[in-house]
Amino acid sequence: MATMARSFLQAISKDEAVAPPLRVVQIEGLAVLKIIKHCKEFAPTLVTGQLLGLDVGSVLEVTNCFPFPVRDDDEEIEADGANYQLEMMRCLREVNVDNNTVGWYQSTVLGSYQTVELIETFMNYQENIKRCVCIIYDPSKADLGVLALKALKLSDSFMELYRGGNFTGEKLREKNFSWMDIFEEIPIKVSNSALVSAFMTELETDAPVSQGDYDRLHSSTTPFLENNMEFLIKCMDDLSGEQQKFQYYYRNLSRQQAQQQAWLQKRRTENMARKSAGEEPLPEEDPSNPIFKAIPEPSRLESFLITNQVSNFCGQINGVAGQNFSRLYLTKALHEN
């Protein structure tokens, strides 16, 4: 018995020491429906909620969730948010529902979720939950017959850089870090109990196609493309503003280096005259001089996030435009026949 206990404890300590990488997020159908209902009811207002479940090996199980209340006063949210979460967890524990936090969910508009606020929320969760995820749901894509649900986590390399607070070009080149290395998308698997699956089978109609199939054949996606183009133009303006910051920094850096060289040349000329007069030379560096004060380099985090958003909007436009061409060719062929 003692040998079995030791083996069990050794297995636990080994699992804690070397946790397997997260491979899949398994979410219950009930939790998916709750997320969709909450996000659609308040659209286009962005909402968030808590994810509950279990971390089992390489699978993160999301078994339930609950929404956060929407309030207008930020101070009231900070004051009541923690109490609300604790009260909800207590109530769920009393009815024997999983009350272990594994992350949070939030809605988005056309996939514009790559923000500094999202990263800060991730880092706050990471202090207590080593492997947490954020499930993003985009209700605007539901009209296209698409379940826009994705699970994200921060990459380990990015978290290391973020904790160091160093997003300079030199550090990023040293780590070989690019804008694509910030987030990691985890595959989502929706699961249901056998009883729920049997009930869903009973609810299925005998119709060969569903409403979702008709939605996917809808050829008018102009509003969706227009909104994507508007967001893309705004992101390009923001990216241009970030580039101007770096251009201003490099101009100042070049001007400072020229001033340092001029000052150094003057000091060397002065030291040669002092040496000829038999006097002690002056130091060639003067920390008290403003021209020797280092100019801080702007962080590249914001430009990386904007680049992520630009890539996301371009991908959405490309995908929807390709599907539209396929529908148009299909409609043309049907009319000809």
Q: Which amino acid is at 105?
A: Y
Q: Please, what are the averages of pLDDT over each run of 10 residues along the chain (337 residues)?
A: 46 54 88 89 85 86 86 58 77 79 87 85 84 88 78 88 82 84 89 81 71 62 79 89 90 88 86 81 74 82 88 84 76 74
Element (H, E) at 32: helix 29-42
- For residue 324, the model assigns a pLDDT of 75
Which one, of 235, 251, 257, 250, lies nearest residue 303 by Cα? 235
- For residue 5, the model assigns a pLDDT of 46
* pTM over 0.85, yes/no: no
Report whether 23 contacts 187 (CB < 8 A): yes
- For residue 231, the model assigns a pLDDT of 87
Dihedral angle, C-alpha 185, 226, 115, 323, nearest 10 °:
0
Return the structure tokens found at 334: 């049907």
- For residue 226, the model assigns a pLDDT of 82
β-strand partners of 54:
61
Give the integer Cα–Cα distance in Å for 134 and 154.
Answer: 9
Element (H, E) at 190: strand 188-191
Backbone angles phi, psi at 273, to 5 degrees: -65, -40
- For residue 210, the model assigns a pLDDT of 67
Question: Which whole-number Å values give the CA distances from 221 to 2, 173, 203, 294, 317, in the listed order?
Answer: 67, 41, 30, 52, 10
- For residue 79, the model assigns a pLDDT of 56
Question: DSSP states of 238-279 as a string?
Answer: HHHHHHHHHHHHHHHHHHHHHHHHHHHHHHHHHHHHHHHTTP
| Cβ count within 10 A of residue 297 | 17
